[in-house]
Structure 1
Amino acid sequence: MINRKLVKFLSFRYVILALLFIILAGGLVLLPKFEKQEGIKPEQLLSNIISPERYITTDELADRIINQDPSLLLIDLRDEETFKKYSLPNAINMPLKNLFDEDSSAFLNQDAYDVVFFSNDNFDADQAWILCNRLDYKNLYVLKGGINRWFKTIINPPHPKENMPLEAFKLYATRKAASMYFGVAYPDQVKTNVPKRPRPTPKKVITVKKKKKAPEGGC
Structure 2
Amino acid sequence: MKFLSNRYLILGAILIILAGGLLLLPKYEKQEGIRSKQLLSHAISPERYISTDDISHKIISQDPSFILVDVRDEESYNNYSLPNAINIPLSKLLDEDSLTYLNQDQFDVVFYSNNTFLADQAWMLCDRLGFKNLHVLKGGLNTWYTTIINPTKPNEAMPETEFKLYSTRKAASMYYGVAYPDQNFGNDLPTTPETPKKVVTVEKKKKRKAEGGC
SS of residue matched to 1:175? helix
Residue 152 of structure 1 is aligned with which of 146, 155, 161? 146
Contact 2:69 2:111 in 1 (8 A): yes
Residue 196 of structure 1 is aligned with which of 186, 192, 197? 192
User: What percent of counterpart residues are identical?
Assistant: 55
In structure 2, the partner of 1:209 is: 206
Q: How does 1:118-129 map to 2 (within 5 A)?
A: 118-129=112-123
Tell me the amino acid that sits aligned with residue 208 of structure 1: K
Q: How does 1:39-188 map to 2 (within 5 A)?
A: 39=31, 41-42=33-34, 45-46=39-40, 48-188=42-182
Contact 1:30 1:37 in 2 (8 A): no
RMSD of aligned residue pairs (Cα, Å): 2.9
Stretches of structure 1 lacking an aligned partner (at least 5 in a row)? 1-6
Q: CA deviation at 1:45?
A: 4.8
Q: CA deviation at 1:196?
A: 2.8
SS of residue matched to 2:22? coil
1 CA distance for matches of 2:5 and 2:34? 25
In structure 1, the partner of 2:11 is: 17
Q: CA deviation at 1:103?
A: 0.9
Contact 1:160 1:169 in 2 (8 A): yes
Change (3 A) 1:33 1:53: same
2 CA distance for matches of 1:168 and 1:190? 19
TM-score by length of 1: 0.82
TM-score by length of 2: 0.84
1 CA distance for matches of 2:28 and 2:61? 42
Which region of structure 1 is more displaced relative to structure 2, 181-190 or 46-55?
46-55
Tell me the amino acid that sits aligned with residue 209 of structure 2: K
In structure 2, the partner of 1:33 is: 25
2 CA distance for matches of 1:53 and 1:11? 17
Tell me the amino acid that sits aligned with residue 28 of structure 1: G
1 CA distance for matches of 2:26 and 2:160? 53
Change (3 A) 1:191 1:145: closer
Contact 1:58 1:149 in 2 (8 A): yes
1:18-71: CA deviation from partner (whole Å, max 9, x where unpaired): 3224555xx434365348663465257555324321100101111111111111
2 CA distance for matches of 1:93 and 1:40? 31
1:58-109: CA deviation from partner (whole Å, max 9, x where unpaired): 0111111111111110100111111011100110111100101121110011
Contact 1:14 1:123 in 2 (8 A): no
Contact 1:45 1:133 in 2 (8 A): no
Stretches of structure 2 lacking an aligned partner (at least 5 in a row)? none
SS of residue matched to 1:204? coil
2 CA distance for matches of 1:37 and 1:121? 32
Contact 1:40 1:134 in 2 (8 A): no
Tell me the amino acid that sits aligned with residue 52 of structure 1: P
Contact 1:125 1:142 in 2 (8 A): yes
